[in-house]
Amino acid sequence: MEQLLVALDVDSSDRALALAEELRGQVGGFKVGSQLFTAGGTEIIRSLTERGDRVFLDLKFHDIPNTVAGAVRAATDLGVWMLTVHASGGYDMLRAAKTAAGDEGPRIVAVTVLTSLAGADFTALGIARPLADQVVALAKLSQRAGIDGVVASPLEVGAIRAACGPDFTVVTPGIRPTSAALGADDQARTATAASAVAAGASFLVVGRPIIAANDPLSAAKQLAEELRP
């Protein structure tokens, strides 16, 4: 299932590689985030890419343009397939990231508003516009800067598609199986895999519902089954 990316949010390279071995061929790639990268460093990325895996590096680069450009070049040298920056870094930072990646580098997606934020949490940041409007505004900014797509909750996918068109990549975390209680953890804006794809999601990022399952392979297959027409 090419659209399904599994978040290897574990605290050791050995555990990550064991999960990848179990799930390889059943999912579209693996996300390496800050937890695993801090534990395993660049070697975990090399270990996955050498096995032919697509690696989605989710470190959410957010710094001055020159620093982010350097980070993107380093990630490109590692052979990652896709990586994240923060859309709130602004146009110049986004443009620098895309320029550093070049035509042959990784796909770049910009994080809009974290899926853990909703309601009062978002208002407390001092942003006056509604959360969904902020997500769309950041998506449009990213598109103008040449970024390949964005990361947003499944609740905003339809609005992003309407604003940015059918070719813009939309990566959605906050995916929960139909058997799970949606919103039962620190992800505040969640939906099922089927509803996210129906809204226009390009890729689904799923962590705990798969990696914390008693049988991760069966959990991944169940999610894939939910996407069958």
Distance of CA 198 to the CA centre of its chain: 18
* pLDDT (tens digit per residue) in 65-94: 999 999 999 999 999 999 999 999 999 999
CA distance 135 to 127: 12
Task: Say whether pLDDT at 176 is over 80.
Answer: no
Please state, in angstroms and rounded to a whole number, the distance separating the CA atoms of residues 39 and 81: 20
Domain positions in the chain: 4-226
pLDDT tens-place string over residues 103-152: 889 999 999 999 888 878 888 898 889 999 999 999 999 999 999 999 99
| Helix pair angle (157-164, 131-144), 10° resolution | 40
Residue 188 pLDDT: 62
Nearest residue to 52 (alpha-carbon basis) of 27, 33, 83, 15: 27
Question: Are the beta carbons of 92 and 98 closer than 8 angstroms?
Answer: no
Report the percentage of the chain scoring pLDDT > 70: 94
- Dist CA 94 CA 64 (whole Å): 10
Q: What are phi and psi of 145, to 5 degrees?
A: -80, 0
Is the pLDDT at 11 greater than 80? The verdict is: yes
Among residues 60, 98, 140, 221, which one is catalytic?
60
**CATH class belonging to 4-226:** alpha beta
CA dist 229 to 197, 219, 221, 224, 225, Å? 11, 18, 15, 11, 9
CA 138 vs CA 126, 169, 213: distances in Å: 16, 14, 34
The neighbouring-strand residues paired with 110 are: 85, 150
Q: What is the pLDDT of residue 183?
A: 42
Phi-psi region at 41: left, alpha or beta (left = phi > 0; alpha = psi -120 to 50): left
Annotated catalytic residue 140: no
Residue 107 pairs with which residues in a beta bridge? Answer: 82
What is the rounded distance in angstroms from the CA atom of residue 66 to the CA atom of residue 204? 30
Mean pLDDT of the chain, nearest integer: 92
Which pLDDT score, from 0 to 100, does residue 121 have? 81
Q: How far apart are CA 205 and CA 56, in angstroms?
A: 10
Each residue's pLDDT tens digit, 21-40: 999 999 999 999 999 999 99
What is the pLDDT at residue 179? 57
pLDDT at 216: 96
